[in-house]
Amino acid sequence: MDEFVRIREGMQAVLQAGLLKEGMCAVQDESAGFVVSVVDPQPGETIMDCCAAPGGKTLFMASRLAGQGKVSALDINKGRLRILMEAAKCHNLDDIITDIHGDLRLYAKESTVKYDKVLLDAPCSGLGVLSKRADLRWNRQFEDLEELVCLQDELLDSASLLVKPGGVLIYSTCSIDHEENENRVTTFVQRHPEFTPQGVHGYVPAEFITDDGFYSSSPTKHSLDGAFAARLVRSMH
């Protein structure tokens, strides 16, 4: 990706040089950058990031707005939101990003505001990032996945309420599990016929596009973290 520099080793040097503190750059796996490409933030748009903390995607989306537009960063975790807003200040993006502390399921019911783009980067099993998070490897039980899938559906239903007619809902995970990815999109569209999946052609390189037109990266195939993203466009009516 144009805005990315790949660092294979020597992250300590970047940290010691103070580049992060000064907001010169941010650290992110390229797979997360591609999810932002699927969102395709455009100057002037209003964007809701539903599970925003720790904020890597939030910051990248906000920087793509080129000073015009707004990103609302919603998260249930107050401490992590505070860290997100400190990073936003570092990057001079604190006038673009507004933080909202709350549970998406409650917020969506009460909110009257609708957004051009809504990103739901859902809590997931993390099957795509197991190489980085040893804790996840031992914690995976089937009940967990069933509960997660229910939560993903609830969050998707809630996020959909925040999308303007003609707007776009982007569902993403850091998993490579069909159950958490394609299957969630399929059942969501059955529940919400006002949303139509839109292929990600033109937003990300062809090698990351599945036969169904979703974004998918795999640790084995692309040597990036595993991730998934789908674009769902809301009808005008």
Cα 29 from Cα 6, distance rounded (Å): 9
Is position 51 annotated in a ligand binding site? yes
Alpha-carbon 141 to chain mean position: 24
Q: 48 with 115: CB under 8 angstroms?
A: yes
225 is in an annotated binding site: no
The answer to the question of residue 49 being in a domain is: yes
Q: Rounded to whole angstroms, how far apart are CA atoms 148 and 124?
A: 7
- The whole-number pLDDT of residue 138 equals 46
Number of domains in the chain: 1
- The reply to whether 6 falls in a domain is no
For 85, the domain range is 29-234
Q: What letter does residue 75 receive in the DSSP assignment?
A: E
Would 114 be classed as within a structural domain?
Answer: yes
Given the residues 50, 90, 124, 174, the one annotated as active site: 174
Q: SS3 for 58?
A: helix
What local confidence, expressed as pLDDT, does residue 98 receive? 97
211 is in an annotated binding site: no
Asked if residue 11 belongs to a domain, the reply is no
pLDDT at residue 143, as a whole number: 59
- Note whether residue 14 is domain-resident: no
For 171, half-sphere exposure in the C-beta direction (CA atoms, 13 angstrom radius) is 30
pTM of the model: 0.89
103 within some domain = yes
Which of the residues in the chain have pLDDT under 50?
137-138, 142
Q: For the domain that residue 148 is a member of, what is the CATH number? A: 3.40.50.150
Question: Is residue 79 situated within a structural domain?
Answer: yes
29 is in an annotated binding site: no
State yes or no: is 174 an active-site residue: yes
Is 52 annotated for ligand binding? yes
Assigned domain for 152 exists: yes
Angle between helices 56-64 and 30-39 (to 10 degrees): 50
pLDDT of residue 135: 53
| Residue 116 in marked binding region | no
Q: How far apart are CA 113 and CA 16, in angstroms?
A: 42
90 is in an annotated binding site: no
HSE of 35 in the Cβ direction (CA atoms, 13 Å)? 30
